[in-house]
Amino acid sequence: MMVRPATEADLPFIVDAYRLAFAFGEARTRRYVETTGLDCFRILETGGQRAAALAIIACGHWFGGRIVPAANIAHVAIQPEFRGTGLTGDLLELSCEEARKGGASIVSLFASTRPVYRRAGFGLAGVESVYEAETAELYKVRQEVRCRRVPLTEARAALEPIHQRACLHESGVLARHDAHWNSHLDEGRGEPHVFVFGDEEGYAIIDTSDSGRVELRDWTALNGAAARQILKFIGTFSTVYPKVRWHGAPHDALVFAMPDKGWALVHQEEFLMKILDPEAALSARGYACADAALTLAIEGERRRLLRLSIQAGRGNCTTGEEHGAADLTIAQSQLPALFSGFRSATFLRRAGLASGSDDAVAMAERIFSGPPPWVGEHF
């Protein structure tokens, strides 16, 4: 069994696999491969036969103002004749090993069914949330709108610095690969229009190809005024488009800026994460607390003892039994939830998935505090 890079000759196989796994038509799959990049795709072979297709997309996740090197495992499609054979576990192991060799400390994915991914060491780490609002409500927003239109050819260069500034204050959001930007700006699924607001304080990529609603494919607001400008701007479409839909945070800035009711959470799904290298991942992320220290025991196939020391919000993690007794003990499957801040140490101890003294739990709460983790893409 092996996972190898896909080639042009594998495109018909990927089309067939995605048709059977996701009901994608050929045009949609070919467009997805084009925007993602064929170099990201992998083929699983077993017994000389092609059994599965997937994408491994190098990226990062932001935590505490710093990027943790990562990879998304995306659109795993196993052919029907190979399902139920235990192939998924082997596929994940091989994919994670490739991601690790490529420099990733963590991998993330969305799972159609969770048990097999949990057995492979993945745990819940954050959410994807989709909101919808009535555009007729947005005329009530009190905010002068200042915006400029950006040609698609210049869009990424204009938007990426704004996006990165916003990421400094979020948890979980992606440090994007070309594939993510290509998806947001893809002309193959409708024509996107790009607008920047204020003094480079926010932006919106809108898609009006659905007559029932405006889709905010991507947006960022660095402050409340920018969020209100985006809402007021979208309100100018209310005579034609009754709804607007967007990906947002659990603590969503657009929802917070809404002048009244008239919005709803229409979809929410958790993403999963596996910590490939706990020592590297804990050293890479940033921390809200200035100075702290915690000895962490991770219980899995083998027990690991880690010492995390934080100075000025920067972490240094070392491993070894010389660190003595653990302050906090946690199951390996629950480390992603603690690492990302998706679940607190208090919650995990109450659930029976972590153990430690009150002081140790309070220290872990300080260390892993931050905004709720989320992503603005489905990968």
Query: Given 121, 139, 156, which residue is the final one in a domain?
Result: 121
Report yes or no on 283 lying in a domain: yes
Domain limits for position 234: 129-270
137 and 221 housed in the same domain: yes
Low-confidence ranges of the chain (pLDDT < 50): none
What 3-state DSSP class applies to 106? strand
* Burial tier of 181 (Cβ tally within 10 Å: 0-12, 13-18, 19+): middle
Is-contact 195 203, C-beta < 8 A? Answer: yes
Report yes or no on 372 lying in a domain: no
Give me the pLDDT at residue 174, please.
99
Give me the pLDDT at residue 164, please.
98
116 and 146 housed in the same domain: no
Give the predicted TM-score (pTM) of the model. 0.95
135 and 160 housed in the same domain: yes
Q: How far is CA 78 from CA 9, 47, 118, in A?
A: 18, 15, 18
Give me the pLDDT at residue 172, please.
98
192 and 281 housed in the same domain: no
257 and 144 housed in the same domain: yes
Kindly report the CATH number assigned to the domain that includes residue 106.
Answer: 3.40.630.30
Report yes or no on 377 lying in a domain: no
One-letter identity of residue 88? T
Q: Output b/e per residue, 245-266; b: 16+ Cβ within 10 A.
A: bbbbbeebbbbebbbeeebeee
Give me the pLDDT at residue 290, please.
87
Report yes or no on 17 lying in a domain: yes
* Alpha-carbon dihedral sign for residues 26, 31, 34, 40: negative
117 and 133 housed in the same domain: no
Report yes or no on 45 lying in a domain: yes
Give me the pLDDT at residue 300, please.
85
Complete DSSP assignment for 292-303? EEEEEEEESSS-
Query: Given 270, 289, 309, which residue is the final one in a domain?
Result: 270
What 3-state DSSP class applies to 283? helix
Q: Which residue has the tokens 């235990």?
A: 86
133 and 259 housed in the same domain: yes
CA distance 86 to 57: 24
295 and 330 housed in the same domain: yes
Kindly report the CATH number assigned to the domain that includes residue 312.
Answer: 3.30.1050.10
Report yes or no on 90 lying in a domain: yes
97 and 189 housed in the same domain: no
Give me the pLDDT at residue 324, please.
79
Report yes or no on 145 lying in a domain: yes
Report yes or no on 115 lying in a domain: yes
* Alpha-carbon dihedral sign for residues 121, 346, 170, 208: positive
154 and 43 housed in the same domain: no
Give me the pLDDT at residue 323, please.
65
Give me the pLDDT at residue 23, please.
97
CA distance 299 to 331: 5
H helix and E strand count, the chain: 12, 18
* Burial tier of 125 (Cβ tally within 10 Å: 0-12, 13-18, 19+): buried
CA distance 360 to 212: 52
Strands 41-46 and 174-175: unpaired
Query: Given 270, 296, 328, which residue is the final one in a domain?
Result: 270
301 and 182 housed in the same domain: no
What's the total number of domains in the chain?
Answer: 3
Is-contact 227 257, C-beta < 8 A? Answer: yes
Is-contact 225 198, C-beta < 8 A? Answer: yes
107 and 135 housed in the same domain: no
